[in-house]
Chains A and B, each alone.
Chain A
Amino acid sequence: MYTIQKKVELNPTVTLMEVQAPLVAKKAEPGQFIILRVDEDGERVPLTIADYDREKGTVTIIFQIVGASTTKLNHLKEGEAIHDFVGPLGVPTHTEGIKKVAIVGGGVGCAIAYPVAKKFHELGAVVHSIVGFRTKELVILEDEFQKVSDKYLLMTDDGSYGEKGLVTNALKALLDAGEKYDEVVAIGPMIMMKFVSQLTKEYNVKTMVSMNPVMIDGTGMCGGCRLTVGGKTKFACVDGPEFDGHQVDFDEAMARAGFYRGFERHAHDEACNLFKKEVN
């Protein structure tokens, strides 16, 4: 049983859960993900492994409440169990030979970026973290990031906290100031990753991005997660989810991410009604 050991609300729309899943915890590495189903008829939801504790046998997930399934997941309480939980899936973050790295996180993408930053820090690399949020109340993992970063820059769109501006502005400033990175890792909204990749291409700095297309099985069986990288079709679940940002066809990936937007609303509305009923 995949019992929820701990549940913390990081901000009004982002929740952290520590889940009992010893087999996954044993093998998990930063950059990998799990797929869960909340209940018997649940959708298969991919979420990144935000942290793991091999001794306790737990895996931490951090998710944004965006639709029906994440709403249902957020209804579960400590001590309750998630129906299915499979992983670790995907290829771990490549860390070899990297001595200095810039980690760029956007919004809930910071949850995915944090374990990557932590891993680089543990391996002794110099870590510069640049994180961006829309506004102050959405900021997550501030302390955690600071602990593992040699430099930590926080940006908000509206200037309500940290610096006002986009993560690309901050990254550009660092690059212009002569910072030399072996690699930039960008994780966040597709559009952010696209612009980070465009920027670093000019500076010729290798950039990895973490792609999160719609997935079903997560084992290479359906091809629904496919994207074009360097002109070739790749399956994000088995070949990724991290890819060379300079090679990814972002426009195609963004179109594919919007595929179900029109077809999903129905399920979301129903969950909201459910929610209202429970509140009454």
Chain B
Amino acid sequence: MPNMSMKKNEMPVQAPELRNKNFQEVALGYTTEQAIDEAQRCLNCKTKPCVSGCPVQIQIPAFIQQTVDGNFEAAFQIIAQTSSLPAVCGRVCPQESQCEKYCVRGIKGESVGIGRLERFVADWHNAQLDAKVEKPASNGHKVAIVGSGPAGLTCAGDLAKKGYEVTIFEALHLAGGVLVYGIPEFRLPKAIVQKEVNALKQLGVTINTNTVVGKSISVDELMEAGYEAIFIGSGAGLPRFMGVPGENLNGVYSANEFLTRINLMKSYQKDSNTPIMSIRKVAVVGGGNVAMDAARCAKRLGAEEVSIVYRRSENELPARKEEVEHAKEEGILFKLLSAPLEVLGDEKRFVKGLKCVAMELGDPDASGRRKPVEKVGSEFILDVDCVIAAIGTSPNPLIKSTTSGLETQKWGGIIVNEETGQTSKEGVFAGGDAVTGAATVILAMGAGKTAANGIDKYLMAKKQV
């Protein structure tokens, strides 16, 4: 008998006034009872609308039914057929605009908590004694992966399981991409990412950190060195700035710099060697996940007042709803329909304010969203000593400019065949943010899987001739 409650089982969380002072995980995860109770809300629909909303088609009702029966390992294995990073995706996927958006239970009440169940099942699996992964027998073919974000990690894992000798080249000193330098600990504990990385090592994947492809070694040189195929998963790491006066004052950060100092370099810990300024009042410009993360980090660093400055209204905020709610609970202020005009500085060139203008929504633009227009004479000044620009990133031009015959879009995205991940250059594949521009973990992971299959088919076909 299904559980006909209209509402999801609530996710246990750390209390807002506690958690906005620490970096521990906010959402604590379902207990076994809560998970089974939630799983019982699923109607096991024949048409599986939820599955069609999942970018990698996880067999959602199937894993949920196993969860109802308490077969958590079996549930995990169903997810693992199509997803390589369930513990990560269960935490950071925008389920409300994917699987849960299409869930039948969502028509009259709340959808099934699919993401929360995915997280529960993955955490349950991870908590069991580490089953030693066996390194598969080598098939003798070498593949290089550029970048260790979700796209690179997934592609590496899938190829290693097929017997390929895989080497990852990562520019930073730590593997994980945005999962380690961008998304904060309180949303995605770094131990979870580390576990995924360790599992790859057990599969025999070599990870060469401190290697900037295009500088330390180029894609063409990797091919000369005997790598028969190359996957580029270098992400979209180039920060965009606002283009307003005062942008280079001390106290203006890109979200990437602010988050990297905090997450990768651990500057929130007192004994960290990498400094971060002590902040009093902060304006975060932008309305996406990145802006929410930066704002919530700023609050945790002890800022008295943190405001999101976003030029459209609440309805258009691109961030996940859950993140917006969490931010509000933690005391983040929202200055909506406001756009920055100028960062104001003091005589020592430190930020002392952000001059903004109020906006109103006009006719829909190309994106279908109503276009914000300045309200004449509505300028106002926010009293802040730190401004964080979280207004987007694009792919780094380094790889394109150092690889012969690699075609990209005008804005830098690498052009690929969507079915195989193949680029314009023979033997070179790509996926994730490097192809799509800033997107999501699940899409990057999916692209890594697609390319792993593409690479396997390509190399096997080459072997035949």
A86, A217, A238, A256: the one within 8 Å of B250 (CB): A256
Contact with A along B200-218 (1 / 0, CB 8 A): 0000000001111001110
Q: Are A223 and B257 in contact (CB under 8 A)?
A: yes
Q: Which chain B residues lie closer than 8 Å to A260 at the CB level?
A: 275, 277
Tally the A-B contacts, defined by beta carbons under 8 Å: 110
Q: Which chain B residues lie closer than 8 Å to A264 at the CB level?
A: 275
Interface assignment of B248: CB less than 8 Å from any CB of chain A: yes
Q: Which A residues, 50 to 68, have Cβ-Cβ distances below 8 Å to chain B?
A: 68
**For chain B, which range describes its interface: under 10, 10 to 19, 20 to 34, or 35 or more residues?**
35 or more
Q: Which A residues, 236 to 265, have Cβ-Cβ distances below 8 Å to chain B?
A: 238, 252, 255-256, 258-260, 263-264
Binds A, one of B71-79, B106-114, B234-242: B234-242
Contacts A222-B256, A228-B248; A259 near B171 (Cβ below 8 A): no
Q: Which chain B residues lie closer than 8 Å to A263 at the CB level?
A: 275-278
A85, A87, A267: the one within 8 Å of B215 (CB): A87
Q: Which chain A residues lie closer than 8 Å to B217 at the CB level?
A: 23, 27
Binds A, one of B16-24, B159-167, B265-273, B371-379: B265-273
Q: Are A220 and B238 in contact (CB under 8 A)?
A: yes
Q: Which chain A residues lie closer than 8 Å to B209 at the CB level?
A: 84
Contacts A233-B247, A260-B275, A267-B275; A89 near B211 (Cβ below 8 A): no
Complex CA gap A259/B216 in Å reads 30
Q: Are B275 and A216 in contact (CB under 8 A)?
A: no
Interface assignment of B398: CB less than 8 Å from any CB of chain A: yes
Contact with A along B229-261 (1 / 0, CB 8 A): 000000001110100000111100110110011
Interface assignment of B173: CB less than 8 Å from any CB of chain A: yes
Q: Which chain A residues lie closer than 8 Å to B273 at the CB level?
A: 41-43, 68-69, 267
Q: Are B237 and A223 in contact (CB under 8 A)?
A: no
- Main SS of chain B's interface residues? loop
Interface assignment of B349: CB less than 8 Å from any CB of chain A: yes
Interface assignment of A98: CB less than 8 Å from any CB of chain B: no
- Main SS of chain A's interface residues? mixed
Minimum C-beta distance from B285 to chain A (A): 14
Contact with B along A118-162 (1 / 0, CB 8 A): 000000000000000000000000000000000000000000000
Q: Are B241 and A223 in contact (CB under 8 A)?
A: yes
Q: Which chain A residues lie closer than 8 Å to B215 at the CB level?
A: 27, 87-89, 219
B residues sitting closer than 8 Å to A (CB atoms) are 171-173, 181, 209-212, 215-217, 237-239, 241, 247-250, 253-254, 256-257, 260-261, 265-266, 271-278, 348-349, 396, 398
